[in-house]
Structures are given as structure tokens and as C-alpha cells.
A = this chain, B = another copy of it.
Amino acid sequence: MPDPYLKQYLMTAGPTPLPPAVSQVMAEPMLYHRAPAFIDVHARVLESLKRVFQTSGEVLLFAASGTGAMESAVANLVRPGEPVLVASCGKFGERWAELCDAYGGATVHYEAGWGNRVEPADLDRELTEHETAKVVFTSFSETSTGVVHDVKALAEVAHRHGALLAVDAVSGIGAVPLPQDEWGADVVVAGSQKALMSPPGLAFASPNRAALEHAGAGGGARYYFDWRRTLDGQRKDPPDSPFTPAVGLVMALDVALRLIEEEGLDAVYERHRLLGRATREAAKALELELFGPEDENANVVTAIKLPEAIDGGKVPKLMRDRYGITIAGGQGKLKGKIARIAHCGYFGAFDIVVTISAFEMTLRELGHEVELGTGVAAAQRVFLEAGVQVASPA
């Protein structure tokens, strides 16, 4: 029997905590997906997604993990044997390359290195060297390191070379601005379980006209993730889904999107900006290095280098078992080397205060000398100086 007073704080970049209204709607009776009550929910969600993605195109809704939406982009855009460029800087960027390989693409994989950014100049150089590549796959927010890319600049470079840009925004959408149409991203893929404050199990892809045209001309074998099939369903009046939608998850997303729109997208981004800044300032006050470039836009997850003298792998475990706070450690080659504190979605100021507080106590327990309260105070200062209430959205 777990201790009920060891209150649980979920500080991972997906799944993220759910606002109570989102959790509770899933306890409502199940709806038939062709009944008017669900048709209304479905139509409302599809319209709201377009506003959150800031696109006039259709945001295609799949019952899948975020990787399913990535796969939809690859299956629809990659023609076997044709060159494609993947520009990665971490685990999820590398997944694009695995997907392109699985679909028979002649994959050129530019690896900027974990913790680095793919810079527009890098992309320009790669596309100059590989001028036959007509699709570029990259990440918006690379969850494994916290790095956030300048998608606007990357899209400009890709287009200058006559290539399409597909962006994995699974952890970034709804946390950091990514106005798809304005910036010209040709496809944005995302998932429900991060800044969109919903349970995992829904995935999104928003191909623009150019991406749909490219997909229509070829691509690999696909059925469930075929864009055209889902697009044709969603464009009906009322919108339909070619497969039984994940009704309960769509009901949850409906509530979450309403919360996001009530808060206002700009306010949502501002809240994430403060959460990110507070976490970075706390780390610096504790004289710990940030992993990756310090970036005012890197507000999805903050990666902090752990002191080399301690056993870094113990940090997440100790924080969880002793303090009830679930953060993530490093993945792959960063195992034991970094702590990742997420703040994308249903997070307020005091989630950061609590987490930094437990982080300080954990570092002390593992033998690293920190002055208790130093990081907390730095976070407090950020919130206080902002003079705004960083409240929970629900």
C-alpha cells in the first residue's frame, strides 16, 4: 500500500498530468462514435486543433502514440529508393531515420549531436550536398535533450532547396509557438500526452497542400496511417473517421483544448516561458550546468547536467521513491548524466518549486553539497518578477 501522503508529482515530458476536468470526462458513459453527441465533440476537436496548430489545413487525428503520426509522415512522403534528409540531435530525431530506413528511403542522416541544435546553416549545407532530397524530417522540441529548433528558419532553408519540411512537435505543440502556416512547416506531427494535457493514445499530423500533393504522387505502403483516407473522412459534413476513434481520449482532448483556448494560446506560451525560465534559473543558482544551449524558447523540458561526483542514475529513482516526484533521467548515451524536468502541459509555478526543492534534497543526500533553498529562491524570483499568476489552467 503506497503512502497516500507521499503526494505524487508527475514531472515527465509525457505522459503529463491531466487537469481534473480532463480526467473526469473519461469517467462519463461511453458514446457511440456515430451518435450526435460524439459527432459534436469530434467536430469541435478538429476545429480547435486547427487553431492550436495555427493552420488552415486539416489536422488529421489518429488513434496511436506520437510515433504513429511520425510514421504517417514517412509512409505518406517517402518513396522507396528516393533520398530523404533527416536532421537530428537526439533520440526522437534518430527515430525519423529509423522510420525512413524502414520505409526504404535512401536516408541521409545529419546528426548534430545530442544537446546541439540543428542550425539553419547546417541544413543549408546538407541540402546543398544532397540536392536530390525532397523531404526533410526534423524535430521541433527534442524531448531527449530539451533542445528546441528554429523551425521558421529551417523551413525557409528547406523551401529554398525545393524540399518539404516535416516537423516532430510531439512535445512542443501547445508549449512553444509554432504557427504552422506562417512559418511554412509542411507537416507538423504531434501527440496528445504532452502540452495538450490529454492522456497518451492520440496522434496528429497536419500536412499542408504541398505535403498532400507529394503524398498523393507516391509514398510507401499504408492504410491505417494513409493521410488521404483520414482526410476524406474528416472533410465530410459532419466529419467522420475511417476507423473507430478513441472516443474517450477524444472526449478528454475536447476538454483539454477548451482549457487551452480559454487560457489563450499566448498566455499558454507565456506560462511555459516562465516555467522554463524558472527551472533554468534554479539550475544555475545551484551551480549546475544546463545541457544544451541556453535558450529562451526551450520551455518544454529542462535538461540539467548532474554533478560528475554523484551517481546520476540514482537521482530520478530517489526523487520518486522518497519524495513522490517523477522526473526523467537521460536516455541512451545520456543515461545517468542528466536530469530532465518537464514543464509542458498542466503545470503551474509550484510544481517547479516542489520539484526543485526535492531535487536539492536529493543532491544533498547523494553527497553533492548544495545550499538548500537556493534553487527554489531563484525560481520564486522569476515568478515574482513576472508579476503574473502562473496558475493551473483548470
Q: Report the minimum CB–CB distance from A30 to chain B (whole Å).
A: 5
Contact B247 A199 (CB under 8 A): yes
Q: Could you say which residues of chain B place their CB within 8 Å of the CB of A35? A: 320, 326
Contact A200 B63 (CB under 8 A): yes
Q: Could you say which residues of chain B place their CB within 8 Å of the CB of A248? A: 26, 199-201, 248-249, 252
Q: Could you say which residues of chain B place their CB within 8 Å of the CB of A12? A: 32
Q: Is A66 part of the contact surface with B, judged by Cβ < 8 Å?
A: yes
Say whether, besides A63-B68, A64-B68, A199-B249, A221 and B104 are in contact (CB < 8 Å): yes
Q: Is A191 part of the contact surface with B, judged by Cβ < 8 Å?
A: yes
Q: Could you say which residues of chain B place their CB within 8 Å of the CB of A326? A: 32, 35
- In A149-191, the 8 Å CB interface with B consists of 191
Contact B201 A63 (CB under 8 A): yes
Contact A102 B200 (CB under 8 A): no
Q: Could you say which residues of chain B place their CB within 8 Å of the CB of A199? A: 26, 30, 246-249
Could you say which interface size class chain A belongs to?
Answer: 35 or more
Contact B201 A14 (CB under 8 A): no
Which of A222-230, A232-240, A270-278 is the contact stretch? Answer: A222-230
Q: Is A369 part of the contact surface with B, judged by Cβ < 8 Å?
A: no
Contact B244 A246 (CB under 8 A): no
A200 in complex: contacting residue of B98, B200, B245, CB < 8 Å: B245
How far, in whole Å, are A221 and B23 apart by their CA atoms in the complex?
Answer: 36
Say whether, besides A32-B15, A35-B326, A221-B75, A65 and B23 are in contact (CB < 8 Å): no
Q: Is A288 part of the contact surface with B, judged by Cβ < 8 Å?
A: no
Q: Is A254 part of the contact surface with B, judged by Cβ < 8 Å?
A: no
Contact B200 A66 (CB under 8 A): no
Q: Could you say which residues of chain B place their CB within 8 Å of the CB of A68? A: 63-64, 224, 243
Closest B residue by C-beta to A100:
B223
Q: Report the minimum CB–CB distance from A203 to chain B (whole Å).
A: 8
How far, in whole Å, are A63 and B30 apart by their CA atoms in the complex?
Answer: 18
Contact B30 A15 (CB under 8 A): yes
Which of A14, A32, A104, A242 has the most chain B CB within a 10 Å cutoff?
A: A32
How far, in whole Å, are A15 and B251 apart by their CA atoms in the complex?
Answer: 13
Q: Could you say which residues of chain B place their CB within 8 Å of the CB of A191? A: 244
Q: Is A18 part of the contact surface with B, judged by Cβ < 8 Å?
A: yes
Q: Is A139 part of the contact surface with B, judged by Cβ < 8 Å?
A: no
Q: Could you say which residues of chain B place their CB within 8 Å of the CB of A245? A: 65, 200
Q: Could you say which residues of chain B place their CB within 8 Å of the CB of A16? A: 30
Q: Mark A26-41, 1 if CB is under 8 A from B, else 0.
A: 1111111101010000
Q: Could you say which residues of chain B place their CB within 8 Å of the CB of A31? A: 10, 15
A28 in complex: contacting residue of B23, B66, B103, B249, CB < 8 Å: B23
The 3 closest A-B pairs by CB, nearest first: A201-B246, A26-B26, A199-B248
> A17-B29, A98-B223 given. 9 additional CB < 8 A pairs?
A23-B28, A23-B30, A64-B68, A65-B244, A65-B245, A102-B221, A199-B247, A201-B246, A224-B225
Interface CB pairs A-B, < 8 A, 9: A30-B199, A66-B243, A67-B244, A102-B223, A103-B223, A199-B246, A200-B246, A201-B249, A246-B246
